[in-house]
Amino acid sequence: MKKEAVTLKKLAQILDLSISTVSRALSDHPDISEETKEKVRKLADALHYVPNIFAQGFRNRKTKIIGVVVPNITHYFTTTMVRGILEEAAIKGYRVIISESNNDPLRQTEMLNTMLQFGVDGILVSLTKMTRDIDDVLKILNKIPLILFDKVSSKIPCTQITINDEEAAHDAVEHLINIGKKRIAIIKERDFSYTSEKRYAGYLSALKEHNLEIDEKLIISVDDISTQHGQQMTNHLLSIKNPPDAIFAITDSAAIGVIQTLKKFDIKIPEEIAVVGFSNSRRSTVIEPNLTTVDQPGETIGKNAVKYLIDEIENTVENVSNKLIEIKGTLIIRDSTFKV
């Protein structure tokens, strides 16, 4: 037997009241008598009535729902940001719909349009690393508030929440210099990655500040900054005439691949080659030696993203905010660069 949804219309028909009266009664409107409110509540409870938040949103032009689009929801750092988003949204009285793009720009566009169809009040987006054409994002931005977080783009005129990538990378490389390393390699992503370029800029600035040579042979760019690529690029770095005495990988995954390869060749870490990663993932404390890395405060990024988005949703000013909010990362020093 087909189940029939209990609607405001059905409640109104049974009670012989108007739909607007039933709606206001359930909303505890002061114009409705207590007697009527009690009748409506009792019937709603008896029939297990559940409000249709989308229908409410279309009536009120607000759904109190935030859309979130991320590249990969299973990534550890992403889960910490999502946790912050959910906690802050709940405090503010908003629900959250989460979707992942799988790092596919076409799916990202599809998810953005789906969020718009759901009637969300605003969207938080962590861009795919393959995002080149920003027109689809700009179209959404012209319709509802949209904020970028973590994976951002300087080409999109909106508020953006990210870690202080350049400063954090500078501190990581400077730490390597302070322990006596002079030939420091970097494993980064190829062009178009905002995050990678910021971390690369921090790498360069640290070398320049300490008057160290910038050797192009030590600058390695890959399409996918993964453990496998970390392994492959370490093999390459070990094969050059004057190999590095330290390697800075812009992700923990790549840094772990570096450590695995160095251990395979019985290279002492950090005495011969020191290693630094970025993100303070769970694996950073499982790998031996434990990985020195930059801790990214994911929950703080998520909470700030929600705060700024809700401020734009509830602010009636039409001017689009265009701010870069950088959350400070912290270098966590472990055995891959320093031993007591």
Count CB-CB contacts under 10 A for residue 27.
Answer: 11
Q: Does some domain include residue 195?
A: yes
Residues 100, 89: Cα–Cα separation, whole Å = 19
Q: Does some domain include residue 2?
A: no
Residues 101, 104: Cα–Cα separation, whole Å = 6
Q: pTM for this one? A: 0.80
Q: What is the DSSP track for 151-200?
A: S--TTS-S-EEEE-HHHHHHHHHHHHHHTT--SEEEEEE-TT-HHHHHHH
Angle of helix 34-46 versus helix 8-15 axis, rounded to 10: 120
**What's residue 31's pLDDT?**
85
Q: Which residue range(s) make up the domain with 176?
A: 165-296
Q: Does some domain include residue 337?
A: no
Q: Does some domain include residue 20?
A: yes
Q: Does some domain include residue 1?
A: no
270 with 302, same domain: the answer is no
291 with 306, same domain: the answer is no
284 with 310, same domain: the answer is no
290 with 302, same domain: the answer is no
130 with 184, same domain: the answer is no
42 with 145, same domain: the answer is no
Q: Does some domain include residue 339?
A: no
**What's residue 317's pLDDT?**
53
**What's residue 313's pLDDT?**
92
State which amino acid sits at residue 199. Answer: R
- The DSSP H or E segment spanning 315 is none
- The DSSP H or E segment spanning 329 is none
Contact 65, 118 (CB under 8 A): yes
State which amino acid sits at residue 164. Answer: N
Q: Which long-range contacts link 17-20 to residues 24+ away (Cβ below 8 Å)?
A: none
**What's residue 166's pLDDT?**
97
Q: Does some domain include residue 59?
A: no
323 with 180, same domain: the answer is no
239 with 254, same domain: the answer is yes
Domain count, the chain: 3
Nearest to 15 by CA among 29, 1, 35: 35
122 with 215, same domain: the answer is no
Nearest to 194 by CA among 134, 254, 139, 131: 131
Instruction: Tell me how long the chain is.
Output: 340
Q: What is the CATH number of the domain that holds 141?
A: 3.40.50.2300
184 with 242, same domain: the answer is yes
Query: Of 296, 311, 335, which marks where a domain is finished?
Result: 296
201 with 142, same domain: the answer is no
**What's residue 1's pLDDT?**
42
Burial class (CB in 10 A: 0-12, 13-18, 19+), 73: middle
**What's residue 111's pLDDT?**
94
Q: Does some domain include residue 180?
A: yes
- 245-283 as b/e: b if 16+ CB within 10 A: bbbbbbbbbbbbbbbebbeeeeeebbeebbbbbbbbbeb
Query: Interior CA angle at 320 toward 318 and 323, to 5°?
Result: 145
Residues 293, 284: Cα–Cα separation, whole Å = 8
73 with 147, same domain: the answer is yes
Q: Where are the alpha helices (DSSP H) in the chain?
A: 8-15, 19-26, 34-46, 53-60, 76-92, 105-117, 135-141, 165-178, 194-209, 227-239, 252-264, 298-314
Q: What is the CATH number of the domain that holds 28?
A: 1.10.260.40
- pLDDT by position in tens, the chain (length 340): 445 667 888 888 888 888 888 888 888 888 889 999 998 889 888 888 877 655 555 555 678 999 999 999 888 889 999 999 999 999 999 999 999 999 899 999 999 999 988 889 999 999 998 888 889 899 999 899 999 999 999 889 999 999 999 999 999 999 999 999 999 999 999 867 889 999 999 999 999 999 999 999 999 999 888 999 999 999 999 999 999 999 999 999 999 999 999 999 999 999 999 999 999 999 999 999 999 999 999 999 999 999 999 999 998 555 556 789 999 999 999 999 986 5
